Amino acid sequence: MLTLFHHPMSAACRFVRIAFGEYGEELALIEEMPWSRRKEFLALNPAGTLPVLLAEGDVPIVGATVIGEYLDETRGVLKRERRLFAENPMDRAEIRRLVDWYLGKTESEVTRHLVRERVLKPLMPNAAGGGSPDSTAIRAARANTRQHLKYTNWLAGTRHWLAGSRITYADLAAAAAFSVLDYLGEVDWRDNAAARDWYMRVKSRPSFRPLLADRVRGLAPVSHYADLDF
């Protein structure tokens, strides 16, 4: 069994977990506190970032998109219609664009700030940046959330899945990001029916179930977090 160093409130880590789940592979999970900079973890990834996959031979593979490419090359190419990537180069480009959107742009404008201020800061020592949440950062992230949800609603309303006719890495990246925000109760689904219906479809997949059991010390999820129909 492969091992993933992760944090339950990291969208990038959730993306990797869902992807392996889609291919029916289990991962041994080791929760890593992003601020702790453990010597043993830094030996695997000097950058100290998550996720890190210990692959065959305990070789570390660092970063969600890199792990995704590794997974496609070692498992995905054998899955035919269940492959999470695409055969066509232009289709692959669109999948990569949306993965970068949700794990890059959404992360930098929304997810990272809400997770840091609401989840991590209360757990972090002051020397590592812990303390009271920054209300300005939270307000800015919440305003950005609306724009990212609106864009997702448009994608979901004009395509069967976000990148085309079947589920791909693009859907997993978006669902990973929104699952973190949904845990925190930061998503207003009421005026975004297409996005809500798309998210319900992803949320109902077996690969998603382990995420619905995630809990963070000191912060319970919103009441509908584990509901498949909300």
Q: Say yes or no: do domains 2-82 and 89-205 share a fold.
A: no
What does the pLDDT read at residue 27?
A: 97
pTM more than 0.85: yes
pLDDT of 217 higher than 90: no
Q: How confident is the model at residue 21 (pLDDT cuts 50, 70, 90)?
A: very high
Q: Which of 51-60, 124-133, 142-151, 167-176 has the lowest mean pLDDT?
A: 124-133
The two tokens of residue 86 are 């695409």
pLDDT, tens digit, 9 for 90 and up, residues 28-55:
999 999 889 999 999 999 999 999 999 9
Q: How confident is the model at residue 223 (pLDDT cuts 50, 70, 90)?
A: very high
pLDDT, tens digit, 9 for 90 and up, residues 49-78:
999 999 988 999 999 999 999 999 999 999
How many degrees, rounded to 5, is the angle at CA 66 between CA 64 and CA 68? 70
Reduce the DSSP state of residue 176 to 3 states and report it.
helix
Per-chain mean pLDDT for the chain: 96
Give CATH superfamily name and number for 2-82.
Glutaredoxin (3.40.30.10)
Q: How confident is the model at residue 90 (pLDDT cuts 50, 70, 90)?
A: very high
What does the pLDDT read at residue 52?
A: 98
pLDDT of 24 higher than 90: yes
Q: Which residue has 């319970």 as its token pair? A: 220
CA 11 to chain CA mean position, Å: 3
Phi first, then psi: what are they for 135, rounded to 5°? -65, -30
- Tally Cβ neighbours within 10 Å of residue 5: 22
- Contact in structure between 194 and 151 (CB atoms under 8 Å): no
Q: How confident is the model at residue 201 (pLDDT cuts 50, 70, 90)?
A: very high
Q: Which residue has 């453990």 as its token pair? A: 38
Q: How confident is the model at residue 123 (pLDDT cuts 50, 70, 90)?
A: confident
What does the pLDDT read at residue 51?
A: 98
What does the pLDDT read at residue 129?
A: 84
Residue 148's beta-bridge partner residues?
none
Assign domain 89-205 one CATH number from 1.20.1050.10, 3.30.1950.10, 2.60.40.420, 1.10.3720.10.
Answer: 1.20.1050.10
Question: How far is Cα 124 from Cα 61, in angstroms, rounded to an integer?
Answer: 26
Per-domain residue ranges of the chain:
2-82, 89-205
Number of alpha helices (DSSP H) and beta strands (DSSP E) in the chain: 10, 4
